[in-house]
Amino acid sequence: MGLKERYLYLWNHDRKSEAETVFDGIAARRKKALESWFKEQWMKIEVMEKEISSVIDNENTNMEQVLTELYHAYAEVIECFLVDEKGMVKDSSYKGHIGRDYSFLPGIAKGKEGLPYMYGPYIDEATLDLPTRDRVFHDEVTLLFSIPLKGQGAWRLLCVRYFNDDMCNVIQDEDTHVYKESGDNYLFMIRNNRGIPMGTAISRSRFEDKTFTLGENLKDGVRTKKWGTVKIEKHTEFEILFHDPATKELHPGVAATIKNGSNLDCWPGYPDYRHIPVGGKGVTIVPPHSDEVWGMMCEGDIAEIYKFHKLHRVVPFFIFICSLLGIGIEQFVIHCTPLPYLAGSLLAVFTIFGGSTFLIREMIQKPLVNTTKLIQGVAEGEGDLTRRLDDNAKNEIGELRTWFNKFISNQMHMIDSISVSAGSSKRTVKQVAHASKRIASHVTDVEEKLGILSDSTTRQNDLLTQMQTEITRVTGSFEKSVELEEMVREIQEKTKDESASYDAEKLTREVLSSIEKLEKTVKTSIQTIRELETKSAQISDIVNTISSINRQTKLLSLNAGIEAARAGDAGKGFAVVADEIKTLSENTQSAAESIGKLVWEIQGDVQHTNECMEMIHRNVDTSTSLTRQGVDAMKLVTNVSAAISEVYAMMKEQNGLIGNVKEKADSMTEMSHEAVKAGKDSRDAAQAKMSEISRQMGKLNQVVEGLQFASVAEDEIVNSFITLKSGRK
């Protein structure tokens, strides 16, 4: 501790408590600002992840275009890229980085566990390839945020790159420094898994170059009294280790912060890495989604902390000097000039008055007038928020201007935040409006598809009803086999009774007549069965058409689900409709499959029946031929009787098959009726949901119009002020 610092502390020791309050406030606000910055970035990244996940499974998505749009949407982002499970870059907002190997990232292992992760700061030469987007500070020191996507396809990890200097700007905001000559806020490492020594700098120093000081800086070299020069090659990060050069150990402020979690020391302070006495506050920081612990120091030189000229001392001193000067002039006039005594007194009064007036005008009035003008510009709702008052004076007026500058800085950041919010609102309104139009278009398509599906189901039910009628008619014709059975039994009795009184010719005519009747019946049955085959084929075509419509409906449901996911909360109602459509499609598909199976079985039974009827027809032809050509009437009748018995057995078998066909047709018709009823209920429910969506879309459009109006109002507020961001536009 030097004599200068001891003298200043002795003269202004009452400022110790004020300095402690100042450093407490600086550390608390910078820590909160940094935590808010991390939270804001993660919120942006989660929005990016949801947007990418909603489209990544669509084979028509241009992922490079999606990433580029996200890059342009967020000013602080310098690159968005996707890596696969091996760490290879598959897509990027910067084409030159596609194919790079990032397998070293611990975020890949975390991502496979479904966890987000922040890696860094670390040195990545690839960062120098990227556009700086008009940044003052930028180098290869990088922060990399990563989060796994939730798509159903190949595993992908979204990585978002930032300049580490952007994070440093949060804690190094120039207007936050109360002690302009020596104040510095910096981050250092406490715990990590990367082998970085404890106490290593991980943020840019305010005195890294000549940006904020015309004095010594780290790139040119900072000289110490006996321990050489502290100098960096590229950047503060990883090159500065916060050691006291005299002891080669962590300087007391950093060491106490690591040990206790925080540290406040404004007197007597401690030697820093330059071995100059400093004071300040140290706190610890745990970045979200990271396995590291950092420390932050907010410091200033002891000499500047206690360098203060109180007005109640300065003003009387200058008035005393003016008074001495006035008295000297008066005595000079009285004793050394022929002027009267009154002239000397007047000159003395003018000297004292003029000196006091000059002092008050320069030290008090002008600073207050400038402050008032700046306040007036802001109070009237317009003004240049980039202007700052000269706060170099080390007195109460200078202190007032310092805190007023901080107030203006806070207002500027608030206006900039409103500007960013307005920009985000505009993008959101645009996206919601676009999604609203697409949803409305898809609602119309869904209604048309529902109408087509309902009409197809109705046509299917009508065809099944017709088929059931035809089968009933065929079954009715086969029920006449009872009469045929009596006829056959009569013929058999006659052929068995050889002593009957009927002669052969008469008996042959009777048999021939019966066979001709049987032949007509068989021909009618064959024609009916062929008609049944035709109807079955038509039903198969209808089932295939329904299956095709179902596939289109499933695709529409999938597209609707994707659009609902992209629309976020605005698409929840549409997502419900998508589920209803999907359920309707699945129920209809199930019914179509069941009907198809029954139709296939019916076609098999009909084919078998047709074959049997053809065989019967051939047997009947044979019987007729034998009857007409037979000479021995009784022998011919006997043969015909045997053939008729065989025909009758086949007829009984056919009757059973036709009965099975009728049962299956009845079952299929019943299922069709149920499917039609279920389809109608689902269609009515879907149409009700569509109507509800239309009403909600109307409300959504009103909200969008309100947001557009709010965005315009925010723009008007922002444009009425001049800020750092608005000045760059």
pLDDT digits (tens, 9 = 90+) for 177-228: 788 889 999 999 999 999 999 999 999 998 898 887 767 899 999 998 888 8
- By the 8 A CB rule, do 26 and 166 touch? no
- 198 and 234 inside one domain: yes
- Residue 185, domain CATH: 3.30.450.20
- Residue 447, domain CATH: 1.10.287
pTM, 2 dp: 0.63
Asked, for residue 422, whether it belongs to a domain, the answer is no
The count of structural domains within the chain is 3
What b-and-e string marks burial along 73-82, b requiring 16 or more CB atoms within 10 Å of the CB? bbebbbbbbb
- 439 and 370 inside one domain: no
CA dist 323 → 331, 344, 345, 349, 435 (Å) = 12, 13, 12, 8, 79
Structural domain span for residue 369: 311-383
- 301 and 317 inside one domain: no
What is the Cα–Cα distance from 425 to 602, expressed in whole angstroms?
63
Half-sphere exposure of 414 (CA within 13 A, CB side): 7
Asked, for residue 363, whether it belongs to a domain, the answer is yes
Q: Which residue has the tokens 């989660």?
A: 46
Asked, for residue 655, whether it belongs to a domain, the answer is yes
Domain ends where: 654, 677, 700? 677
pLDDT band at 151 (very low <50, low <70, confident <90, very high): confident
pLDDT of residue 501: 42
- 266 and 379 inside one domain: no
Domain ends where: 289, 305, 321? 305
Domain ends where: 652, 677, 702? 677
531 vs 357 pLDDT, higher one: 357
Half-sphere exposure of 87 (CA within 13 A, CB side): 10
- 287 and 339 inside one domain: no
- 267 and 367 inside one domain: no
Per residue in 687-725, pLDDT tens? 666 666 666 666 566 655 655 555 565 565 556 555 555
- 224 and 341 inside one domain: no
Q: Is residue 343 over pLDDT 60?
A: yes
- 652 and 504 inside one domain: yes
Asked, for residue 702, whether it belongs to a domain, the answer is no
Asked, for residue 405, whether it belongs to a domain, the answer is no
- 356 and 453 inside one domain: no
Asked, for residue 192, whether it belongs to a domain, the answer is yes
- 297 and 369 inside one domain: no
CA dist 458 → 464, 599, 600 (Å) = 10, 17, 21
- 219 and 343 inside one domain: no
pLDDT band at 17 (very low <50, low <70, confident <90, very high): very high
The proportion of the chain whose per-residue pLDDT surpasses 70, expressed as a percent, equals: 56
pLDDT band at 643 (very low <50, low <70, confident <90, very high): low
Asked, for residue 408, whether it belongs to a domain, the answer is no
- 205 and 291 inside one domain: yes
Asked, for residue 727, whether it belongs to a domain, the answer is no
Which of 174, 290, 271, 159 is closest to 226 using CA atoms?
Answer: 271
